[in-house]
Chain A
Amino acid sequence: MQSLIWLAIALPLASAAVLLCLGRRADAWGHWMGVAASGGAFLVGLGALIEMLGKPAEERALDTTLYTFIPGGDLHVDVGLLADPLSITFVLLITFVGTLIHVYSVAYMEHDKDRRRFFAYLNLFVAAMLLLVLADSYLLLFVGWEGVGVASYLLIGFWNYKPEYATAANKAFVVNRIGDIGLIIAMGIMFTTFGALDFATIGELAGNASTATLTAAGLALLLAACGKSAQFPLQSWLGDAMAGPTPVSALIHAATMVTAGVYLIVRSAPIFEGAPNAQVVVAIVGAITLTLGALIGMAKDDIKKALAASTMSQIGYMMLAAGLGPVGYAFAIFHLITHGFFKAGMFLGAGSVMHAMNDQVDMRRFGALKGAMVVTWVTFGLGWLAILGVPPFSGYWSKDKIIESAFVGEGWQPWVFGLTALIGAGLTAFYMSRLFFMTFHGKARWTDEVHPHESPALMTVPMIILAVGSAFLGLILATGDRFTTWLEPVTGHVEHHEPVLPVAVIVALTLILVALGAVGAWFKYGRAEVPQEAPSASLATITARNDFFQDSVNRAVFQRPGQHVTRTLVYADAAIVDGAVNKQARGWSSLGSASRKLQTGQVRSYAATMLVGLVIVIAVIVVGGL
């Protein structure tokens, strides 16, 4: 199966093409075909996994070249798929969670007349994401990178008849473009330095390059990762991306696409190995984003936006881990996997809640839903426990390891990163508990016309499966360091480092902070009355509610000056470039007008001209004696 891994990409891609080409004729069965394509891709990935498990660890990676993509002189790029433990891990995450979300969407989108188109886009996304993670070169990865960007754009703007949703899609697209430029620059640097773009060659040659080159490439890659993964300072699009249907938020903007940045960093490990400064920057970006996300999550009343802020924050954790170097790679991916499960589960739960509440998203009008929606409550609760890092749920196994790793090192770094991660855990506990209590506990603050009810089985079954994953996946994978061993061929073996604080102290501190956050949230939002309107708040809260004024900052720092530059350029273009051309054109035109007068329209004048010309020619010949 490992050599047939291309099928995993081809199946959803073909399904997307069929769904888009057939149009309304596929309305009746198109969604099931989408589910089948995604499920088929999962089976392919599962087969590849089984085959790989049968081989010794160092022989598990298999690079299959399909055909030559660009045979251009110095630049020779093959379309090759790299199936190694890292990419197969992603394949399984994407296809498994993706299939569950496909099934969920069948029910969620049932009353949408464009459900077929929705599934076509979802399949397109799955195909592009698989191409991204399976590519064996940066160029092919870039194809998948852009593919998921397009799918994300299409799905955020799926209800594009609402102008603000279309704007949100455009915003995501534009911000992602900034990140893409980073990836392109990185590819340019790598090509000039190494003369190749495939991971294998770069991994071999990276040690020969200078630190400055590697730092530049690493920072460019970080820019790309920031754009895709909504990391500071390119985080602004993720909150607005919640305009898309909730399954999209669960699949793309929580579980898979936004984690592509982490994948890129981990995949580019050879580059970062030689550029410690770039690594530190990665960790700093992760630390900033995890704090920022947590603070925004504490202030948001919109359930989806709160979850989006939480996603940002959790990816910040992963970035932080990825920035720690080989110590953190495996844990970054581990947390990515567990996060994919519990966050997707919680998004699906949020979708279920919205389904029950007439598509309302304001948590201040929820409350006391645990009675009406038991399955949603339980599954969401498991996700909540997982993200809090309560043992023995999934999040504990992954996040705690990240916090531990953050404390590893020398000098100022372990203290800054470690404490940030530690405090972030407390903040996470607070805002997630706030979200959970405001939605499911307390008093009912429903608007008059809503009658909450449990969602159909097609929606609850995926939620249950994801909840089971949220509960036990971490335990299963962490037992005996299974997952880190599995990833070792890619991330490299790391000797155990002792953190600056004893491990037991770190775990204890983390759990205390988590408990404090959760209990604080219970007192403020579980037991106490929650106002139906957001109360007037301190400057800090307002800042967090407004996403730290990220849009205003972007506008003032980038958009306005950019507008002025373009206006000046337009003026210069009109006055100087066009001006010169126009002046010249006017000159020729007036010359033409002048010579037009020669054109009298009198045939006999023309004939006279001809005769006179003839006479002159003959005279020249005769007199000149030719």
Chain B
Amino acid sequence: MVNEVLFWVVAIITVTGSLSLLFARKGAHIAMSIVTVMCGLAAAYVGLGAPFLGVVQIVVYTGAVMMLFLFVLMLVGVDQRESLKETIKGQRWIALVGAGGIALLLISVIGRVELTSSDQFTDGNPEEIAIELFSQYVLVMEVLGALLITAAVGALVLTHTPRLTPRRTQVELQAARILAGADPVNKPMPGVYARHNALDVPALDPEGNPIDHSVSRVLEARHQTQEGAEFRHQLADPDNPDHDAKPADAPPRDAHDRNPRQGEGESR
């Protein structure tokens, strides 16, 4: 006999999980709840004496199909939230009435049927299913194989985009970058080596001005850099009258505008 506890657990898991289809906003959430639904259904199959189908359900649906859904969700933008506001007039009511109506009708029909469970219960083990599949249904199997191949090729054709322009080589990319005004040599290394063996201090140009883009952007974003200007007087010529003074012309660190980084790869 069918386990009653299992039924109720499965029923609650699947119905709540599938309700997310109607109410959840994020695609990833929905996909994960459907995965749960699929797992619940797999459990139900096992409970109904179809362990092979239960395993196939896990492998095909949770393992392959729903993962494919997730991939596509990632591809088209996972963080797209969908507004649940209805745009077509009356659509929501039609949908609810239609869905409710079909549920009521189906349940009423099912309720009228008196079917008692057969006692000749065959455990749906893989061997019996295999015998059925490859004897009685072998032609269907072949046709399904052809269908799968066709679907695979069809998907390839559908997602294939022909290249419209020739592929750009490394040399062409470099030439384009130089034309756009990028620095032809390496970026200067950060650090004022006399005082600080550090990545958080900008390098100084020969005139003692700090070179801002010598410091990693990551450190700047974390506000973990130090200004280069404060080291200037210590490095300058001792004969200089302004030897000890802070350079008046050095603007404050915050107002220092960033070097334009046009033509660099990471800005794209």
Contact = CB atoms under 8 A, between A and B. Distances in A.
B101 interface: yes
B102 A614 contact: yes
B88 interface: yes
B88 A605 contact: yes
A600 B99 CA distance: 22
Nearest to A614: B102
A602 B88 CA distance: 8
A615 B94 contact: no
Interface string A141-180: 0000000000000000000000000000000000000000
Contacts of B109: 618, 622
Nearest to B93: A608
B105 interface: yes
Interface in B68-120: 88, 91, 94-95, 98-99, 101-102, 105-106, 108-109
A611 interface: yes
B180 to A, nearest CB: 44
A608 B97 CA distance: 10
A612 interface: yes
A615 B91 contact: no
B31 to A, nearest CB: 20
A622 B91 CA distance: 26
B102 A618 contact: yes
B105 A622 contact: yes
Given A602-B88, A604-B91, A608-B91, A619 B101 contact: yes
B108 A615 contact: no
Interface in A451-510: none
Contacts of B94: 608, 612
B133 to A, nearest CB: 31
Interface in A556-609: 600, 602, 604-605, 608
Given A602-B88, A622-B108, A622-B109, A608 B102 contact: no
A454 B26 CA distance: 109
A622 B102 CA distance: 11
Nearest to A616: B101
A602 B108 CA distance: 32
Interface residues of B, number: 12
B95 A615 contact: no
A601 to B, nearest CB: 11
Q: Which of A602, A608, A618, A622 is the most central at the interface, judged by chain B CB atoms within 10 Å of its CB?
A: A608
A604 B101 contact: no
A600 B95 CA distance: 17
Nearest to B86: A604
A619 B91 CA distance: 21
A611 B99 contact: yes
A615 B88 contact: no
Nearest to B92: A608
A519 to B, nearest CB: 99
B91 A605 contact: yes
Contacts of B95: 608, 611
Interface class of chain B by DSSP: helix
Contact of A618 (B88, B91, B99, B105): B105
B146 to A, nearest CB: 29
Nearest to A610: B98
A21 to B, nearest CB: 49
Nearest to B100: A615
A608 B102 CA distance: 12
A600 B89 CA distance: 12
A604 B98 contact: no
Interface residues of A, number: 12
B105 A612 contact: no
B93 to A, nearest CB: 10
Nearest to A605: B88
Contacts of B105: 615, 618-619, 622
A611 B94 CA distance: 9
Nearest to A609: B94
Contacts of A614: 102
Interface string A370-400: 0000000000000000000000000000000
A614 B101 CA distance: 10
B8 to A, nearest CB: 28
Interface string A28-53: 00000000000000000000000000
A120 to B, nearest CB: 57
Nearest to A600: B88
A612 B108 contact: no
A611 B99 CA distance: 8
Contacts of A612: 94, 98
B98 A608 contact: yes
A600 B91 CA distance: 13
Nearest to A623: B105
B178 to A, nearest CB: 50
A53 B95 CA distance: 104
A90 B102 CA distance: 94
Contacts of B88: 600, 602, 604-605
B91 A611 contact: no
Contacts of A615: 98, 101-102, 105
A243 B106 CA distance: 92
Interface string B180-208: 00000000000000000000000000000
Contacts of A600: 88
A475 B267 CA distance: 117
A614 B103 CA distance: 12
Contacts of B101: 615, 619
A611 B105 CA distance: 13
A625 to B, nearest CB: 10
A612 to B, nearest CB: 5
B102 A611 contact: yes
A612 B102 CA distance: 9
A611 B108 contact: no
A117 to B, nearest CB: 55
A622 B104 CA distance: 11
Contacts of B106: 618
Contacts of A622: 105, 108-109
Nearest to B95: A608
A127 B94 CA distance: 83
Contacts of A618: 102, 105-106, 109
A490 B52 CA distance: 104
Nearest to A613: B98
A614 B98 CA distance: 9
A42 B218 CA distance: 111
B102 to A, nearest CB: 5
A134 B184 CA distance: 101
B13 to A, nearest CB: 26
A605 B91 CA distance: 7
A626 to B, nearest CB: 12
A619 B98 CA distance: 12
A608 to B, nearest CB: 5
A597 to B, nearest CB: 14
A394 to B, nearest CB: 88
Contacts of A619: 101, 105
A619 B104 CA distance: 10
B103 to A, nearest CB: 10
A622 B108 CA distance: 9
Given A608-B95, A615-B98, A618-B105, 6 more contacts: A600-B88, A608-B94, A615-B101, A618-B106, A619-B105, A622-B108
Interface of B: 88, 91, 94-95, 98-99, 101-102, 105-106, 108-109
10 contacts: A600-B88, A604-B88, A605-B91, A608-B91, A608-B94, A611-B98, A614-B102, A615-B98, A618-B109, A622-B109
